[in-house]
Amino acid sequence: MICTDIKHFSHEHNLKPECNKTPFTCDGCKEIGWGPRFRCQDCNYDLHKDCALAPSSTFHPFYKKCSFEFLKSVPDGPERCCDACGRDVHGFVYHCHNYGYDLHPSCANLPHVLEGEGVELHLRESLLSKCYKCKSKGPKTRVRGWSYRSTCKEYHFHVSCMKDMVVGKWEQEYFGGTELNSVGMEITQLVPSLQLTSQSGASSGKGKISKYWRIVKMVLKVIISSMIGDPIGGITCLIGSLLSG
């Protein structure tokens, strides 16, 4: 992360790089964050690293004909959703003027390949099999959204479902006024318990289910790391706590 102050078009004062354990709402994209940020202490103004350092334009392989422009807010018109996660866009966004696609800055940076536990998952524009969380092929959002799918075709996760697991509870508890005293409590208590089962049911066996939990852990770690701006940090430990027991 850059170690010097930056000047950003969205704020009149310089922003200082900072890393602390307190969750925040990014004043750029309006999404939650935790860990590394750029901050104006006097104005209580915070930006995700991805929002503060976002290039003025970008491309994405899912939309080969699109050129995405970084905007302070979406163009005038109906409410818009991120085409990656399905959540509403309330602030900074990458927008394609020609085709109308929108991406949160953090979603635009989601990795395309995840590898671990002997499994390789690829980021897809859609899901051909049921998501392990919602048990549906299509997420419950206004847009189809992206998904992670394993090459062995056994593991399927909507980006929207994995993100909502964290965001919904976090916003409800932390930003609802709950007092939390440590980063361990902040994350472990704010993320809801995962009550997911293998698509094959009880016949899958403990070994397969255990492997599934480890893959869920891997996907969650990447989604959360991208979402809150913490590249690795305490993510490994907090996800371990989240899935233990």
Global confidence as pTM: 0.76
d(CA 112, CA 204): 28
Instruction: Decide if pLDDT at 26 tops 80.
Output: yes
Q: Is residue 6 part of a domain?
A: no
Number of domains in the chain: 1
Inform me whether the pLDDT recorded for 181 exceeds 90: no
Interval 110-123: pLDDT, tens: 889 888 777 888 99
**Residue 25 placed within a domain:** no
192: in domain: yes
Distances (CA, A) of 107 to 7, 77, 81, 102: 23, 22, 12, 10
Give pLDDT tens digits for 44-99. Answer: 999 998 899 999 999 999 999 999 999 999 887 778 899 998 889 999 999 999 99
Q: Which residue has the higher pLDDT, 211 or 85?
A: 85
In a domain, 164, yes or no: yes
Question: Does the pLDDT of residue 202 top 50, yes or no?
Answer: no
Rg of the Cα atoms in the chain:
18
Q: Which residue(s) pair with 157 in the sheet?
A: 148
Tokens 């897809």 label which residue? 124
Quick count: other Cβ atoms within 10 Å of Cβ 213? 15
Average confidence (pLDDT) over 139-161: 80
CA 113 to chain centre: 15
Structural domain that includes position 189: 110-243
Q: How distant, in Å, are the alpha carbons of 61, 71, 80, 88, 105 from that of 124? A: 11, 25, 21, 20, 18
pLDDT value at residue 135: 78
